[in-house]
Amino acid sequence: EADIYQTPRYLVIGTGKKITLECSQTMGHDKMYWYQQDPGMELHLIHYSYGVNSTEKGDLSSESTVSRIRTEHFPLTLESARPSHTSQYLCASSDTLSDTGELFFGEGSRLTVL
Amino acid sequence: KNQVEQSPQSLIILEGKNCTLQCNYTVSPFSNLRWYKQDTGRGPVSLTIMTFSENTKSNGRYTATLDADTKQSSLHITASQLSDSASYICVVSDRGSTLGRLYFGRGTQLTVWP
């Protein structure tokens, strides 16, 4: 199994709250990603990082922000949660040296904003 | 527009039966195609990868095929088990891992009944 961990697994919060979804990996991968997944829909890339102090926005516009201060840690923060942010958030990492680009996913964080 | 289309959207089969899932893509250029299995409430896990020169690849009871000319791939599951119940996601990369972008299908939800 992949050594990539997400917390919390489930979170129910009220509108306007600030939340941080944690993601850590112990594989030493340079590349890390955040995807948003809604039922029956494809995964959408919202943020990615190619290494420490490198962060980029993905294809799907998101009001969240990310940071990459350490190789193993890639937290995602929502300053003021809204019901439209209700979704499953998946963190992933990949090895830069790999030619095939396999993604290793965490278990996901299911966020519900009331 | 680069796209990945999967069919059927959902499938129910009896335990022990075989099934085939389809993935059609329009992604160009093409680097590789992966099939991921996503159990309910978990992150996706890679089952197999197909590169341009490969036609067939097996991983236990899973056999993937690729026709790069028609841009079609299939995932065949033999002698299905209850644990095969999951969403199967087709992901196409347009270049190598360093520069490549990933295109996700919406997945096929497979349910195996006893």
pLDDT bin (cut points 50, 70, 90) of residue A2 is: low
Under an 8 A CB cutoff, do B106 and A40 touch?
Answer: yes
Instruction: Give the amino acid at A82.
Output: R
DSSP code string of B58-91? EETTEEEEEETTTTEEEEEE-S--GGG-EEEEEE
Please tell me the predicted confidence (pLDDT) of residue A1: 58
- Look up residue B28 and give its two tokens: 């160009």
Distance of CA B2 to the CA centre of its chain: 17
Between the alpha carbon of residue B23 and those of residues B4, B14, B67, the distances in Å are 7, 22, 11
- What dihedral angle (degrees, nearest 10) is formed by the CA atoms of A30, A35, A40, A41? -100
More confident residue, B72 or B51: B72
Please report the pLDDT score of residue A52 as a whole number. Answer: 95
3-class DSSP state of A83: helix
Is the confidence at residue B99, as pLDDT, over 70? no
CB contact at 8 A, A34 and A49: no
Touching A: B residues 71-110, CB under 8 Å: 89, 91, 93, 96-98, 100, 102, 104-107
Tokens encoding B75: 């995932």
Residue-averaged pLDDT of chain B:
93
Structure token digits, residue B96? 């190598």
Position with higher pLDDT, A90 vs A101: A90
Q: Residue range A65-83: average pLDDT?
A: 96
| Sequence-distant (≥ 6) Cβ neighbours of residue A11 within 8 angstroms | A19, A21, A109, A110, A111, A112
- Which residue of A105, A110, A112 to mutate against B (max B Cβ within 10 Å)? A105
Q: Say whether residue B41 is in contact with chain A using an 8 A CB cutoff.
A: yes
pLDDT of B98 > 60? The answer is no
Using CA atoms, how far apart are residues A13 and A91, in angstroms rounded to an integer?
20
CB A74 within 8 A of CB A68: yes
**pLDDT score of B39 more than 70:** yes
Residue-wise pLDDT for A5-22, tens only, equals 999 999 999 999 999 999
Distance CA B114, CA A39 (A): 25
